Amino acid sequence: MQTLSLSQELPKRFTSFFEQQFNNYKNKADFVAFKMISETTRDFTVRNGNPDIMHTFHDIGVLIEIMKDGHIGYGATCELTVDGIARAFTTAEKMTGISSKYPVAKFDMSVRPKSIGQFKSQRQTGLDQLSAAEIYDFLKKTSLKLKVSDKIITASAEAMVIECRQKYLSSQGANFEQDFNIIVSAFSATAQDGNETQTRSLHGGRGICLQIGSEFFNLDNTLADCEQTSREALELLTAPNCPTETCDVILAPDQMLLQIHESIGHPLELDRILGDERNFAGWSFVQPQDFGNLEYGSKMMNVVFDPTASNEMASYAFDEVGNPAQKKYLIKDGILQAGLGSLESQFRSKLSGVANSRSSSWNRAPIDRMANINLEGGSHTLDQMISSIENGVIMYANRSWSIDDYRRKFQFGCELGKQVKNGKIVGTVKNPNYRGITVPFWKSLTAMTGPDTCETYGSPYCGKGEPSQIIRVGHSSPYALFKNIEIFGG
Amino acid sequence: MKNYIKKFSEDLFATLKPQEQLGLFLHSEDSTFIRFSQSKVRQNTSVHQHEVTLQFNKEQRTLKMRFNLTLDLAHDMQSATHLIEDARKQLMQMDPHPQFIAFKNNGQSETFKKVDRPADSEIPGLIYDTYKDTDLAGFWCSGPLRQASINSEGQFHFFETDYFFLDYSLYNGPKAAKGYYSAETFSMAEFEAQAQATKNKLNLLNRPTQTIPRGLHNVYLEPMAMAEIVGTLSYQSLSQGAFNKGYAPLKKLKDKELKLSPLFSLTENFDLGYSPLFNSMGELSPNKIELIKNGELKSMLTSTTTAKEYNIETNFADISEMPRSLEVRAGTLENKDILSKLGQGLYLSNLHYINYSDVQTARMTGMTRFACFYVDKGEIVGPIQDLRFDESIYNVFGDNLIELTKESSVYVSTMTYLKRDLGAFKTPGALIKNFNFTL
């Protein structure tokens, strides 16, 4: 008989215990829900052909939700014993009772629907079929391929291979399970010559984020990509700095992911608009009355919240309180339509929202998060866009990001730029940066490549919340042309 | 927890075979988080989280395996022995680790600390009563946090502390002032005084808002604003390993091409008392490591792994080579003289979302945030609209650093990504000329 890995064995060991414990407690408050998250991460890095980071993490725990007098409080524990669950429930019940005297809002049961179902990431072969040795071998070969020259001082290949299972039971009758297979990877080369150092990576640091099985590890394709990445790092060593001027900018999809994330995703989160995030992540320039009215960008701008997309990082059937996931337009023809608000935020704000109540793991309460936020494609080819530019720069792969707490004034930097003069690419520039203000920037969007050119990336590290949480997000985008943007170099 | 982890580790060590070594690193917390908005409770979360990282060494190979303790010994032994058995099979399919470090016995220690603080059950009422006349957003964090580093060579280091902080901001419409409270002993008088000070600062924002043009302005950075800049500087910039791998914003300082101001000194100072001396390997750091002294780079944080790779001396930094207890040396500027010395310029309470815009020139970009004011003739005129800066550390802490304050502030780490962070940061405020604002 084949021995189960711990990632398979742990949920098996604790599932019936979890169900029993839920049944013991489900009638002990106005509302009770138990969520179990079991997640195994294999996080491997091979540097210059040698093992560097070889970590595995088996994370399992339970989040207990309790509603008392309309206020929802939480207890979280990895002590998966009768005593452990009792301690977590008792502590949470006591604090929830006290907190319910000073609540921001008094919810009703509509914020915890009775959802039943299952979800499984689309994949050909499950990640549980992939051995550590296979991952290591792939990373070793790709890392060695990145080292095309002695000037490459660091050639790094990384992969986080994640198997995550969620199970949610509530006293309302919700009962759903979700099974995610996720891969996050990065391949980067750092070139150095004298005082000049440049890093180039395949679509930015850990920008490659997908729900996918072990079929992701296609060695031939990745080796070719790694060689190209490394040669571009060498090219950057002798490239001139990006000029300082105002000109046209084409952003590649691996930079657009960040542009969408910071200047569309975050400002549309309803909990930010409601003020919950003011002390940490920030507020938003978007006001409740802007929905349905605000001209967010040019008329060609269509942005969707789409947790139903195949293989994208943040796809699911239900958010973490059981709201069924559906695709929804956030911005249609440039006009702001809806916010990223969970059932709780919708209840408080009376605004339209989406299924986005999510938490980083069993030890944090769910809050409004992005999932997959995608910019729909346009009608140009990349060649057409380039040929329309008299003076501009194409920027690839994010490396620096900063935006204010209202999500207005941003400054982003990229790894590599291609200078365009009179409709043709004339050379490579290093240290390309640009800055702008959200709404005027999106109004300067003048062309996008077609839907078939959209590329899908994401981030495993979107930070927000108090206590802080990271969340996985996906972003799909075409190449996009923006007019009259302030750019500068190093 | 101490007795549990001791018994658990002893039972595990008994399962090892010849030529095998095992290390354990424990992070354990029983935390209360209460999140506030409008001075009321948005979410309360109680967390019982106990992670142990097993590091299994065999034949120059090493694998780290983290899992959560249930505190049921039979369950936890089952998980741990399962992982070790997997590691025995997996490791031999991988190459030897070129920076392999065998465990050794780095001694034994036990430290227990506990602050005096109100019961968690009192906090929702306390915050509401203190701030009901305003609009508070933020969070309270309290409870015990434990770390331990144990290995099969006989090492046993255990550190437990129980502390609290309130990290918040107050609002009058879009106008906001930041507050923070943490102490060895909770004092109601002190707590109320800091609350009043934050409310007073919020009131200053009622003056007419000033529009400040882009360009160079003299600034005063409050300690919290300094903490944001030095916090960004401390992320990998002081790491010897990152430096050697090509991430080197301080290269010109290290190569002695450039110097910072003689007023600027940065020390990893464990005497602050908020972090254990031992790292995850159980190695004991010196109590103080001078990183930058009088503007010159003296040392970088160097783990034993980096030391082995590049054949240099270790200073027993943790594997991440991130500072754990950083202190910026104070200066001579009296708080009462800050505004008059600034004369005309910007008084910046807080900064936000700082990131390197150009690593090679140590240039950082970020935003002003919360209560920031335009000052003229040594007096506060009014709040400013948020500005973006883009400025090199070589300017900020170089020739443009005019003076540091005599008084410093200590901030217990409020980082809570994945788990609570242990550590603190001590810094004065700083008067800086020609700070570059770009948007």
For residue B321 the two structure tokens come to: 């080579």
- Return contacts of A24-30, CB within 8 angstroms, 24+ apart: A25/A64, A25/A85, A25/A89, A26/A169, A26/A170, A26/A171, A27/A171, A28/A89, A28/A93, A29/A66, A29/A67, A29/A68, A29/A93, A29/A96, A30/A67, A30/A68, A30/A69, A30/A70
User: Which residue from A41, A220, A57 is spatially nearest to A128, judged by alpha carbons?
Assistant: A41
For residue A329 the two structure tokens come to: 């337009």
Predicted pLDDT of residue A8: 82
CB contacts, 8 Å: B416 with chain A? 466-468
Predicted pLDDT of residue A55: 95
What percent of the residues of chain B are helix, what percent strand, and what percent coil, each to the nearest 5?
25, 45, 35
Name residues 282-301 of chain A within 8 A of B (Cβ).
Answer: 282-283
Indicate the domain borders of chain B.
2-204, 215-437
Segment A145-164 shows an average pLDDT of 97
Segment A301-322 shows an average pLDDT of 97
DSSP one-letter code for A164: E
- Does residue B134 belong to the interface with chain A, where contact is any CB pair within 8 Å? no
Q: How confident is the model at residue A3 (pLDDT cuts 50, 70, 90)?
A: low
Q: B255-264, pLDDT tens digit by residue? A: 999 999 999 9
Does the structure show a pLDDT above 90 at A409? yes
Question: ipTM beyond 0.85?
Answer: yes
- Whether domain B2-204 has CATH 3.20.20.70: the reply is no
Alpha helices in A246-301 (DSSP H): 253-260, 270-274
Q: What is the DSSP string of A105-158?
A: ----GGGS---EEEEE---SS-GGG--HHHHHHHHHHHHHHH--STTEEEEEEE
> Nearest C-alpha of chain B: how many angstroms from A43?
10
Partner-chain contact A133 B120, CB within 8 Å: no
Torsion of CA B56, B57, B59, B60, to 10 degrees: 130
Does the structure show a pLDDT above 90 at B316? yes
> Nearest C-alpha of chain B: how many angstroms from A203?
18
Predicted pLDDT of residue A1: 42
For residue A487 the two structure tokens come to: 């750019």
Partner-chain contact B41 A81, CB within 8 Å: no
Classify strands B108-112 and B156-172 as parallel, antiparallel or unpaired.
Answer: parallel
* pTM to 2 decimal places: 0.96
Distance CA B35, CA B163 (A): 17
- Does residue B385 belong to the interface with chain A, where contact is any CB pair within 8 Å? no
Q: B413-437, pLDDT tens digit by residue? A: 999 999 999 999 999 999 999 999 9
> Nearest C-alpha of chain B: how many angstroms from A22?
17
- Does residue A468 belong to the interface with chain B, where contact is any CB pair within 8 Å? yes
Distance CA A271, CA A349 (A): 9
Predicted pLDDT of residue B223: 97
Q: How confident is the model at residue A207 (pLDDT cuts 50, 70, 90)?
A: confident
Partner-chain contact B82 A467, CB within 8 Å: no
* Strand partners of residue A72: A67
DSSP one-letter code for B209: P
Name residues 19-38 of chain B within 8 A of A (Cβ).
Answer: 31-35, 37-38
- Does residue B138 belong to the interface with chain A, where contact is any CB pair within 8 Å? yes
Lowest mean pLDDT among A3-17, A164-178, A468-482, B69-83: A3-17
Segment A421-442 shows an average pLDDT of 98
Helix (H, G, I), strand (E, B) or coil at B278: strand
Amino acid type, B209: T
CB contacts, 8 Å: A136 with chain B? 93-94
Start-end ranges of CATH 3.30.2290.10 in chain A? 6-238
Contact A12, A126 (CB under 8 A): no
Predicted pLDDT of residue A11: 84
Question: Cis peptide before A267, with omega less than 30 degrees from 0?
Answer: no
* Strand partners of residue A61: A37
Partner-chain contact A279 B32, CB within 8 Å: no
Partner-chain contact A411 B390, CB within 8 Å: yes
Q: B145-195, pLDDT tens digit by residue? A: 999 999 999 999 999 999 999 999 999 999 999 999 999 999 999 999 999
CB contacts, 8 Å: A358 with chain B? none
Contact A245, A390 (CB under 8 A): no
Amino acid type, B422: L
Mutant choice from B50, B58, B61, B68 vs A, greatest count of A C-beta within 10 A = B68
CB contacts, 8 Å: A76 with chain B? 45-49
Q: How confident is the model at residue A12 (pLDDT cuts 50, 70, 90)?
A: confident
Segment B214-239 shows an average pLDDT of 95
- Does residue B126 belong to the interface with chain A, where contact is any CB pair within 8 Å? no
Q: B380-399, pLDDT tens digit by residue? A: 999 999 999 999 999 999 99
Contact B340, B314 (CB under 8 A): no
- Could you name the CATH architecture of A6-238? 2-Layer Sandwich (3.30)
- Does residue B362 belong to the interface with chain A, where contact is any CB pair within 8 Å? no
Count A/B contacts: CB-CB distance under 8 Å. Answer: 270
